[in-house]
Structure 1
Amino acid sequence: MKSDAELQVLDRDIILKTQAGLPLIAEPYQQIAAELDIDVELLMQRIRIMQEDGRIRRIGAVPNHYRLGYTGNGMSVWDVPDEKVHELGEMIGALDYVSHCYHRPRFLPDWPYNLFAMVHGRSREEVIEKAQKIADLLGEHCRSRDVLFSSRILKKTGIRIGG
């Protein structure tokens, strides 16, 4: 049985080993456990605990949309009633061409938008068509909108801790 201090060190080591991504092999957790010289059961237990207490929010794949041919990606922004933003956000976030959707504060008078949804398409025209579908779904709740296209590709990474 490891002490609390040893578990804290182990948890940090697990984060350091996984923060840049899991190994692209059939059994990535077994490899990580072997590198940390622990049983895979302990590794999985520590990951579950860190997820439950919020130190790890999620584990998931991060596709490179550009390499998959989706080069017209745009952030659609929406001005919807604040009392409906969560309900409408869940509806829009469930669409297969929206990778993420979230509520953000308005900055009036210059920025009226409070709902953001990243729309993916193979061209800007396709993204605009999909944004129109979103507008149709929002109906009377859509007071204004826009689509912001990237001018360059930025490296997408989450926060990293140093080793």
Structure 2
Amino acid sequence: MNARDDFRPLDDTDRRIIQATQAGLPLTPRPYHAVAEQLGLPAAEVMQRMQRMLDLGVIRRIGAVPNHYALGYRANGMTVWDVADERIDELGERIGQLDFVTHCYRRPRHLPDWPYNLFAMVHGRTREEVEAKAALIADALGTASRARDILYSTRILKKTGLRIGA
């Protein structure tokens, strides 16, 4: 039996854990223990409940989110590609595996003005670096790419998930 088979609504303790972690885990060697201490719970319970919420899809992922601007990556380009719809899954998988692609996904075309259906985000210190990475994607796509472009970020948008109140 998986967690989805054993679905129970979130209780007050789950909500307290979400509230305590929604701005990020504490930057300590044992973050779950720090959350547990803050909430007056055993660490094992916090970890078990968070795993259950991950399994249920209540929490989508737990991971580090580096600030690429602070790391010197100031040129950020969403590369967009026009590829055959019947090959997009295969090609998207291939491009998504490139170590310099941070996001890769399918998006609908809006013909006749927007023929692109495959998007791949790359970051670089300069536009030239982003263009070099786009050239590597073009090489990987080969003749499957019928058209392409690069959309550069012009400002930083604050990225946060859903916040629940007390």
Q: TM-score when scaled to structure 2? A: 0.91
Matches within 5 A, 1:146-157: 146-157=149-160
SS at structure 2 position matched to 1:156: coil
SS at structure 2 position matched to 1:102: strand
Q: Aligned letter for 1:30?
A: H
Q: Aligned letter for 1:96?
A: D
Preserved contact between residue 71 and residue 123 of structure 1 (Cα < 8 Å): yes
Matches within 5 A, 1:1-163: 8-163=11-166
- For 1:3-33, what per-residue CA distance to the aligned partner results, in whole angstroms no more than 9, with x for missing partners? x67x611111111111111111111110101
Superposed CA RMSD in Å reads: 1.3
| Structure 1 spans left out of the alignment, 5+ residues | none
Q: Aligned letter for 2:92?
A: G
Preserved contact between residue 79 and residue 142 of structure 1 (Cα < 8 Å): yes
SS at structure 2 position matched to 1:109: coil
Q: Could you tell me how far apart the structure 2 residues matched to 1:61 and 1:100 are?
A: 15
CA drift at 1:150: 0.9
| Structure 2 spans left out of the alignment, 5+ residues | 1-7
What percentage of residue pairs aligned between the two structures are identical?
A: 63
Q: How many residues align?
A: 159
Q: TM-score when scaled to structure 1? A: 0.92
Q: Could you tell me how far apart the structure 2 residues matched to 1:162 and 1:141 are?
A: 48
